[in-house]
Chain A
Amino acid sequence: MPDYQPNAVLSNQEFNVVGTSPIRHDGMDKVTGRAQYGIDTDLPGMLFGKILRSPHPHARIKKIDASKAEALNGVYAVVTAADLPEVSRRVVDLAEGAIHNLGFLSNNVMARDKVLYKGHALAAVAATSPHVAEEALSLINVEYEVLQPVVTAEEAMKDDAPLLHERLATLSNPLLRPGGLKDDDDTSKGSNISNHFEFSAGDISKGFKQADVIVEKETRTSPVHQGYIEPHAATAMWQADGSLTIWSSTQGHFSVREQSSRLLGIPLSTIKVIPMEIGGGFGAKGIVYLEPVAAALARKAGRAVKLTMTRGEVFEATGPASGTYIKVKLGATKEGELTAAEAHLVYEAGAFPGAPVTPGCMCMYAPYEIPNAYLEGYDVVLNRPKSAAYRAPGSPQSAFAMETAIDDLCEKLGMDPLEFRLLNSAKEGTRRITGPLFPKVGFVETLQAAKEHPHYSAPLDGPNRARGVASGFWPNNTGPASASAIVNSDGTVNLVEGSVDLSGTRVTLAQQLAEVLGIPVEDVRPTVADTDSVGFTSNSGGSGATFKSGWAAYEAGMDVRQQMVERAAKIWEIAPENVEYENGVLQHKSDNELKMTFKQLAARQNATGGPITGSAGVNPGGAGPCIGTHIVDVEVDPDTGKITVLRYTAVQDVGKAVHPDYAAGQIQGGAVQGIGWALNEEYFFNDQGNMVNSTFLDYRMPVSLDLPMIDTVIVEIANPAHPYGVRGIGEVPIVPPLPALANAVSRAIGARMEQLPITPGRVLDAIWGAKK
């Protein structure tokens, strides 16, 4: 038994429902196999689609001949990029309503003139069975002009590198992350660098002159995949009136609707997207791969078409996190005060612009107060799958560089690494390198909780063992969200909301509504509605769903409360101002005899004015940044290089844990993915740019047997911009494990680990290198 409280919650404020851990409403369906995921869609006469993918990482498409495939018995349709409208890829077209450059997005969905990575889609077939569709793919004849691939960012940035996009504009603006092609009259030389920008504050020359100790280092990370258990799946069916219905495994069905509208060239209002249950997304299911293709096939075939990916397709044709190269230099006084920081970040975008180098830059120094700082970011295209968001996109890689450099500084200074971080911690009012001042944040409290945790002072018994710590930051996100609360005559309430449930948000939103109404959470029945049935709601991403849709549920609940007060006033023939609503009971403010429960009034709603429905559409600000600090103990086998994770503790400010068990689960899940990123996972590419480990046998994600219990400490520093103090949770916990593991291993073997993953081979190289 541990000598401390495991999975502790350092609570700030108690509520009746918020802050408890009820059973999730969708739990029974999920554990009994009744829940319907993307692949479960089954419609009368439905066809099965398959996609032909490029075997080359870089080639020009000279000709596609699908005549033999079209003639095969059982084949109903073959589509190529010619079946989708051509969407401009120029920079000016960014203002079409999405952060993506829709031309590049369209080109990623279906290659038009060139294939830019192995696995790039270039044709699709719909047939009566998956087997017939596969056979048809083999009958499609593609003539390629094979081109030299660009397989590393270093190579891609050279002046004489082969160009992926001959007219790619090199921007110098972090605001235009999706990139774009140059204007037709721009004759300047092309490049694979789609963006290069800088942030600076203070005077770094002066800052480094003030430093007593300076460290410099270079770090490298490989692309890693989100590894969601459910491959992508989408089904499309056209109705007789020309409207389109899409069933999708997605983090944002409204985003699927908009992207499909743009890529298919049809009005948004003619598309209905039904979000299926989702078996993980972690950021990567926010963009479309299959939906427009399924729709194009279905239109041509005149039948519903379902497309699903294999695991190999998921690895090779969807978006991993960017591989990176980062150079960082830090200076500090002998007392441990940071005086200057300088970093150069190169992020691999994959085949199209838009690596998360901007957030990488914006997060890198965020946990600290640094008076003189400089950051330079490069977004580089190369012949690999287009990178996609992965939990705190961009932040883990830059934290790996920053937090390991801090560990170097601490060793040189002989300083405790948490003391160092506390001394330099950002706090409310700290100015960030990007300009703004921090609002109320819980960085100091989180570091303090980590320092006071028994893990941090526990003895490390045995040889080749060491402890590492690191922090990570994510600003959290918000966005528009909608919800309705429909009161039933039995006193239950249907909560209709628009956030796809990635992580238990049905229950966290239901809890917030139940708290407002003063009723048990079991009396709230949450539903994630399709795009025709609830107001616009932005993606479940950026750790924003419980925050923004929580606000929507709260406001819908307040709407219901107001209506209930008016109904009670009508029944009692008094003014609404004389009615108070508390804990699910309506009462006359001065007559104790006049009171009614929520249930009693719900039963009388139709006779007192009609059904009661509360609704809200919100776009709340103040998502509330958050920080996590992790502590890890490792043992390294000096003969084999094997690393055993002995103990792991994750401490995080969450504002308010609406459902502490799920908050802890988010932190544990993020930490595990970060551990995999640190120790096991990487895309292996051969010299020709082909991924060679696109199965879970060869792409090694950690499993429960590889890990100890991930202990959590939930710190609650209430976010003043939310009625219950909520901050986002889900992304921060993937950030600290990369540097925390590297710091622990480095301390165990006496040599710095500057490349991920920290494989046994790299450990042995480091040990043997240190002995030379």
Chain B
Amino acid sequence: MQVITGGHKTVRVAGGSVRQIINNLEADYPGIRERLCDENGIDLLPGIAVIIDGETSQLGLLERVEENSEVHFLPALGGG
């Protein structure tokens, strides 16, 4: 995703939910939504996990975020 963000590892973005964050990211960095969401924008792509303040969310785009929350998009790990 750093290709899209111009090499920035961290960016600040407004939003009260993961969906709002991605929408606002898309405005600043076009193409990022396609990397993260399904084509209908209903959910995260399979295999992608969103981690908010250290905890993996199970609600995906619907997850609420607090002011100054840290949000990471990472590969979802399965297991054996």
Contact = CB atoms under 8 A, between A and B. Distances in A.
Contact of A439 (B45, B54, B72, B76): B54
Contact of B47 (A178, A438, A476): A178
Nearest to A428: B54
A544 B77 contact: no
Nearest to A172: B3
A619 interface: yes
Contacts of A435: 51, 70, 72, 74
Contact of B45 (A95, A174, A475, A731): A95
Given A95-B39, A439-B54, A622-B55, A359 B77 contact: yes
A175 B79 contact: no
B70 A437 contact: yes
A434 interface: yes
B79 A283 contact: yes
Given A95-B39, A176-B47, A620-B58, A542 B73 contact: no
A175 B73 contact: yes
B21 interface: no
Contact of B80 (A97, A172, A391): A391
A19 interface: no
Given A175-B75, A358-B77, A435-B72, A623 B56 contact: yes
B80 A436 contact: no
Size bracket of the B interface: 20 to 34
Contact of A721 (B35, B47, B53, B55): B55
Contacts of A99: 46-47, 76, 78
Contact of A621 (B38, B57, B72): B57
B48 interface: yes
Size bracket of the A interface: 35 or more
A175 B72 CA distance: 12
A358 B57 CA distance: 19
A94 B80 contact: no
Query: What DSSP secondary structure best describes chain B's contact surface?
Result: loop
Which of A286, A390, A435, A542 counts the most chain B CB atoms within 10 A? A435
Contacts of A94: 45-47
Given A97-B46, A621-B57, A731 B75 contact: no
A132 B72 CA distance: 56
Interface string B37-52: 0110000011110010
B80 A392 contact: yes
A169 B38 CA distance: 19
Nearest to A201: B9
Given A94-B47, A437-B53, A543 B79 contact: yes
Interface in A462-498: 474-478
A622 B57 CA distance: 8
A389 interface: yes
B70 to A, nearest CB: 7
Contacts of A438: 54
B47 A475 contact: no
Interface in A594-650: 619-623
A133 B72 CA distance: 53
A365 interface: no
A362 B80 contact: no
Contacts of A359: 75, 77
Contacts of B80: 226, 282-284, 389-393, 541-542, 730-731
Contacts of B73: 175
A389 B54 CA distance: 25
Contacts of A721: 55
A175 B45 contact: yes
Contacts of A623: 56
Interface in A541-559: 541-544
A542 B56 CA distance: 14
Contacts of B79: 283, 389, 392-393, 474, 476-477, 541-544, 728, 731
Query: What DSSP secondary structure best describes chain A's contact surface?
Result: loop
Given A175-B45, A435-B51, A477 B78 contact: yes
Contacts of A474: 79
A542 B78 contact: yes
B67 to A, nearest CB: 17
Contact of B55 (A178, A476, A621, A731): A621
A294 B48 CA distance: 32
Interface in A161-191: 172-178
Interface string A719-751: 001000000101100000000000000000000
Nearest to B3: A172
A621 B56 contact: yes
Nearest to B56: A621
Contacts of A436: 51, 54, 70, 72, 74
A94 B35 CA distance: 11
A385 B70 CA distance: 40
Interface in A197-240: 226
B34 to A, nearest CB: 9
A389 B75 contact: no
A389 B72 contact: no
A349 B59 CA distance: 30
Contacts of A415: none
Interface in B9-46: 35, 38-39, 45-46
Interface string A425-442: 000000000111111000
B20 to A, nearest CB: 20
A98 interface: yes
A477 B72 CA distance: 17
A439 B74 contact: no
A147 to B, nearest CB: 31
Interface in A652-674: none
A477 B56 CA distance: 10
A178 B47 CA distance: 9
A761 B46 CA distance: 45
Interface string A260-285: 00000000000000000000001110
Interface of A: 94-99, 172-178, 226, 282-284, 286, 358-359, 362, 389-393, 434-439, 474-478, 539, 541-544, 619-623, 721, 728, 730-731
Among all A-B residue pairs, the 5 with the closest Cβ atoms: A542-B79, A283-B80, A391-B80, A435-B72, A619-B58
Interface of B: 3, 35, 38-39, 45-48, 51, 53-59, 70, 72-80
8 contacts: A94-B45, A95-B38, A177-B47, A474-B79, A478-B58, A542-B77, A619-B59, A721-B55
Given A175-B74, A435-B72, 16 more contacts: A94-B47, A99-B76, A99-B78, A177-B75, A284-B80, A362-B75, A362-B77, A389-B79, A389-B80, A436-B51, A437-B53, A437-B54, A438-B54, A439-B55, A478-B56, A731-B79
